């Protein structure tokens, strides 16, 4: 298992993994498989072009990208630099329940807190017991719900907001 930051050079691998996950979990990924297929490699190259400390952590098994988690600022202004949003958390269905996401998410969390971030926020489209369980086990707590955050295949899905604050030393 190789865990490292990923960037524009990993755009194709990122797209392959996203398609594999979205085919099985469109609601949890927040878009339909057809919408995912419409996304271009160039758009991923752009999305994965991070300026520090924004980053995406990836886990590779036998040189194949199997899991990711990203953290990034929500604004360019210093008044919002105490917080980051976590996004892009998913693991290939072929590699689940091995503790891979836990390691990748924890690595992204440590990166954010190590760079002076005080709080990390994220949103989970529900139902998604695996993700809620993963985040709760790391210390995230729920702080609200966006009603009908997603509309997919004729159904509304709420978005559960979760937050994790850096513990004082």
**Which of 39, 83, 98, 161 is close enough to bind ligand COA by CB under 6 A?**
98
Q: Does position 15 bind ligand COA by CB under 6 A?
A: no
Cα–Cα separations (whole angstroms), residue 66 to 25, 53, 151: 15, 23, 27
Stretch that binds ligand COA, among 6-14, 22-30, 106-114, 147-155 (CB under 6 A): 22-30
- Please tell me whether residue 131 binds ligand COA under the rule CB under 6 A: yes
Q: Name which of residues 70 to 89 contact ligand COA (CB under 6 A).
A: 89
> In DSSP terms, which residues pair with 159 in a beta bridge?
125, 146
Q: Decide if 121 contacts 83 (C-beta within 8 A).
A: yes
* Cα separations in angstroms, 90 against 29, 51, 68, 80, 119: 8, 22, 6, 26, 21
Residues that bind ligand COA (CB under 6 A): 21, 25, 28-29, 89-91, 96-102, 124, 128-131, 133-134, 137
């Amino acid at each position: 298992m190789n865990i490292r930051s990923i960037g524009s050079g990993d755009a194709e691998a990122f797209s392959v993994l996203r398609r594999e996950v979205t085919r099985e979990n469109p609601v949890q990924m927040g878009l339909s498989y057809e919408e995912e297929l419409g996304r271009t490699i160039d758009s991923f190259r752009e999305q994965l072009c991070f300026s520090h400390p924004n980053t995406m952590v990836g886990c590779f098994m036998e040189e194949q990208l199997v899991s990711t988690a990203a953290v990034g600022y929500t604004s360019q202004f210093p008044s919002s630099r105490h917080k980051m949003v976590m996004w892009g958390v998913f693991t290939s269905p072929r590699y689940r329940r091995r503790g891979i996401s836990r390691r990748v998410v924890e690595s992204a969390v440590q990166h954010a807190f190590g760079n002076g971030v005080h709080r990390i926020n994220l949103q989970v489209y529900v139902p998604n017991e695996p993700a809620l369980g993963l985040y709760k086990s790391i210390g995230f707590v729920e702080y609200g719900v966006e009603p009908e955050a997603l509309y997919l295949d004729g159904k509304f899905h709420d978005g559960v907001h979760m937050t994790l604050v850096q513990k004082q030393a």
